[in-house]
Structure 1
């Protein structure tokens, strides 16, 4: 079964005001009808009890009688729209209640035929000059800031609404698993080989040699300590100092020569090592297997297992903070983008024309392809409204105007009755 929908209505305060207003106008229309009936009865009794009653009594009686008939007829018509008059199930009464679904279908069809027509919508959209108005609006800094503010709020809400488990799974599938799936050795070897061919390993080699030279300059105490720990017990200490000083000076001299001489053999040895490493990473099965073992250990470590959660926690927090901070680069970029696009729409007629063509084309596409779905929403929504509640809300919306029909029926009926009675008296007078 279809779940019933609550019928939309005004706020409780407005609804209470309208109910009081409807009750007041119902009382006024009913009071006028009762007044016409009382006048008719009074005139009827007066004429019946007074043989020579004045002529004007007949005119008043005729007006009151016709007004009473007109008021009763319109009361029946208005009441029959929403309920059974006096509770009598007369055919073609309680129309809104009994024909609610058909009314919904008719309303949906009317909207579809008259408002969701592709030609009409395209004309209206084109005449609205959406691109020009949008460009003028966006080119104002205040409005661009509004766009940035609302976009930031939306982005922050979207990020907050995402399930961390889903986001972490996406990071794991899209980053961690893809990083772990291929072999590491051959790609690393090709990358190292390309870097060497392009000369991009030279700064690394230079930095390594500079680091070794700096370390050698501060290694004297370390050398002496190592030699002291390993010298025989019988060896004199001054021998250890002489040897340590010699080793230190030779080490400093050697690293200094390597640093100064761009063609030093040590540099060439490092390059040969890197070249051999690049080839082994690509073609040596043992090296490839060793790298795969390292990869397996790295990817199976606790740090990598926890990486998706940490990445998402940091990224989401940074994104929310940037989205809500009006001074952030993200918000400033959104503002600048809005201003730029707005000014381009203002200055570029061709861009406006292209955008207008897209907007009108989209509107026509929606009208041509989804008009039936929209009208079905209207008819299905009306069908799901509870009949009694729908009748009550509809009467509340239009009941006041319908009471004017009752008032007009009584007044117009009185005037018509008076006119008919007057014409008949004139005819009888001249016969």
Structure 2
């Protein structure tokens, strides 16, 4: 467009020179052509000077009030900053503009986008970046210090928690729903397997408890076998008979324990004391440090392994979140309100810093940079000013020539 505008100016100059003689001695129409070219040349030159003067000195001459933008870039930067602050970054403006936006629904549509619309690829980029960020954060933090902080936080929360009533209510609820039966069955099976694994030791203990005469006659082996057989039989009966008296005794004990944990001060005090001793035990701290380190390494490995399934799990969660954001009006309202309040808070607290960043950035630009960027932003319209000036000037010249001839 710059070449077009300059070419038109050159064409007008050529026509002006070519019609100098024709305008005086030739056909009257040549006078109009000459007047058009003359005025168009003047208009084109005037607008070239005006456009050029905005950004640089015309022909390099230091004419006053030229190169306006480079010479006043600091004032322009401050004016832009004030404009942004007063028209875009005031709490009222931010709140008004945010009120018309449904950010939550838009986020839900993006997260729940179908594969045909590229949703999976978008979520893959999000989950991939989030997984890598998680791995880098876990690697960059001091594992011992982080583990101690997590342990201290858990210990603090556990110290505030009154465990005894909670455990008592859990026992009552479990028994009311008959969910304690599998626990009793599991305990009975465990007792049977424990006896079986330690049968030789138990036989030896029983043998040592009987009288020497019985051991001399070999009856001790019979007695130990009878005792063990009786234990196996008792456990088997308890396991297959839901109404066995021993099972009832166990249930009685569990029920009493549940009541004591909730209402007996002495039992509750014992549980609290056990809890405090457990929290203060150094062995627990060592155990937790090892557990945390294994968790940390496992998370890093899963985050870095594309085959671990973490990415697919995260994508699935994001898709479910997107569906919820699209369909739940109450959730949308809560998130939009939070986003609006957050942005208003950002504008209130950091608005001055944001506009100061704009101002300081523009001030750091040199004259050539700001000239190129502003000129490039305005673009073709600057050259249309020159083109229009050439055409309008020519038309005015023809009108003046007509008036001169008529009058």
**Structure 1 unaligned residues grouped into runs of 5+:** 1-20, 229-234, 346-350
SS in 1 for 2:77: helix
Aligned to 1:98: 71
Which residue pairs with 2:146 in the alignment?
170
Per-residue Cα deviation, 1:269-297 (whole angstroms, up to 9, x for no partner): x99xx99xxx89967xxx98xx9699756
Task: Assess, with a 3 A threshold, how the Cα gap between structure 1 residues 196 and 91 changes in structure 2: closer, same or farther.
Answer: closer
Q: How far is the alpha carbon of 1:157 from its aligned partner?
A: 3.3
In the TM superposition, 1:333-352 aligns within 5 A as: 333-345=317-329, 351=330
Report the counterpart of residue 11 of structure 2 in structure 1.
32
- Separation in 1 of the partners of 2:224 and 2:232? 12
**Rg comparison, structure with higher value:** 1
Mapping of residues 7-406 of structure 1, within 5 Å = 22=2, 24-25=3-4, 27-36=6-15, 38-39=17-18, 42-43=20-21, 53-54=25-26, 56=28, 59-115=32-88, 125=98, 146=120, 149=124, 152-166=127-141, 168=143, 169-175=145-151, 179=155, 211-214=190-193, 216=195, 239=216, 241-253=218-230, 256=233, 262=245, 296=281, 298-299=283-284, 304-318=288-302, 321-325=308-312, 328=313, 331-345=315-329, 351=330, 354=333, 358=337, 362=341, 365=344, 369=348, 372-398=352-378, 400-406=380-386
- TM-score w.r.t. structure 2 length? 0.65
Deviation of the 1:97 alpha carbon: 1.0
TM-score (norm 1): 0.62
Q: Would you say the 8 A contact 2:13–2:37 is kept in 1?
A: no
Structure 2: where are the runs of 5+ without partners?
Answer: 239-243, 261-265
The two structures, once aligned, show a CA RMSD in angstroms of: 5.6
How many angstroms does 1:245 deviate by? 3.0
Change (3 A) 1:253 1:174: same
CA distance in 2, matches of 1:372, 1:293: 53
SS at the partner of 1:246?
Answer: helix
Q: CA deviation at 1:311?
A: 1.7
C-alpha distance 103-148 of structure 1, shift in aligned 2 (>3 A): same
Alignment size in residue pairs: 378
Rounded to whole Å, the distance in 2 between the matches of 1:211 and 1:119 is: 69
Q: CA distance change for structure 1 residues 242 and 152 in 2, over 3 Å: closer, same or farther?
A: same
